């Protein structure tokens, strides 16, 4: 997978992103949470900087990482799989459904009934929009804290993708999530230009 980062570093014009790609080329290991987190932030930045081909190249490799019960690692993989669903949703619905099925299976992965119960409870709360960042974003806007606002909007973006691709809930329908995804992405791109 690391060779992808080397190729990407040569194709992108942004010096900071290119430097990160080279670092990931040298150090990335899908078994280390810190490197998965760096990759997560890198892919997110690439996506909002309009490098769709590079993002998809990385996401195709990320998709090969199998869930092994480590939710700490998976917390950086799952949102990227939803990002891949967003990118390919109009061209490969069968692949989207396959990715969604994999993600849904991770909720019930544990043989421990208590762990499964907690996972299902978290999923329910997330689908109801309880893990979104409206108040935090509003506070950042009021304080004109653009960096923090962007960070919360990106988390919001991934939370909305989760809701949309897992079908939403009565409290937070998938159609609402779809609309808010578009608005959130637009706002992030506008704020990135400042």
**Residues 11, 41: one domain?**
yes
Give percent of the chain with pLDDT exceeding 70: 99
Number of domains in the chain: 2
Q: How far is the C-alpha of 186 from the C-alpha of 164, rounded, in Å?
A: 17
Cβ atoms of 68 and 108 within 8 Å: the answer is no
Q: Give the per-residue pLDDT at 45.
A: 96
pLDDT at 194: 62
Q: Over 90: is that where the pLDDT of 110 sits?
A: no
Domain shared by 9 and 96, yes or no: yes
Q: Which of 106, 134, 167 is the last residue of a domain?
A: 106
- Cβ distance 165 to 127 under 8 Å? no
75 and 136 assigned to the same domain? no
Domain assignment of residue 75, given as a range: 2-106
Task: Give the model's pLDDT for residue 68.
Answer: 87
Answer with the one of 77, 106, 135 that is the final residue of a domain.
106
- 120 and 187 in a single domain? The answer is yes
Q: What span, in angstroms and rounded, lies between the C-alpha atoms of 18 and 14?
A: 6
Question: Residue 174: left (phi > 0), alpha (psi -120 to 50), or beta?
Answer: alpha
**pLDDT band with cut points at 50, 70 and 90 for residue 71:** confident
Residues 35 and 60 in one domain: yes
Q: Are residues 88 and 23 in the same domain?
A: yes
Contact in structure between 107 and 121 (CB atoms under 8 Å): no
Q: Are residues 93 and 19 in the same domain?
A: yes
């Amino acid at each position: 997978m690391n060779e992808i980062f080397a190729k990407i570093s040569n194709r992108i014009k942004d010096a900071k992103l290119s430097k990160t790609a080279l670092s990931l080329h040298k150090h990335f290991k899908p078994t280390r949470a810190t490197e998965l987190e760096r990759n997560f932030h890198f892919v997110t930045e690439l996506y909002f900087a309009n490098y769709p081909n590079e993002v998809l190249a990385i996401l195709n490799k990320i998709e090969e990482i199998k869930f092994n019960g480590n939710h700490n690692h998976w917390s950086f993989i799952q949102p990227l799989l939803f990002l891949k669903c967003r990118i390919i949703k109009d061209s490969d619905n069968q692949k989207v459904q396959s990715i969604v099925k994999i993600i849904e299976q991770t909720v019930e992965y544990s043989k421990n009934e208590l762990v499964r119960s907690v996972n299902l409870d978290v999923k329910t709360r997330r689908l109801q929009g309880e893990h979104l960042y409206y108040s935090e974003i509003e506070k950042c806007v009021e304080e004109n804290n653009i960096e923090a606002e962007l960070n919360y909007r990106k988390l919001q973006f991934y939370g909305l993708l989760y809701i949309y691709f897992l079908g939403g809930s009565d409290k937070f329908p998938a159609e609402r999530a779809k609309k808010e995804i578009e608005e959130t992405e637009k706002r992030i791109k506008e704020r990135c230009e400042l």
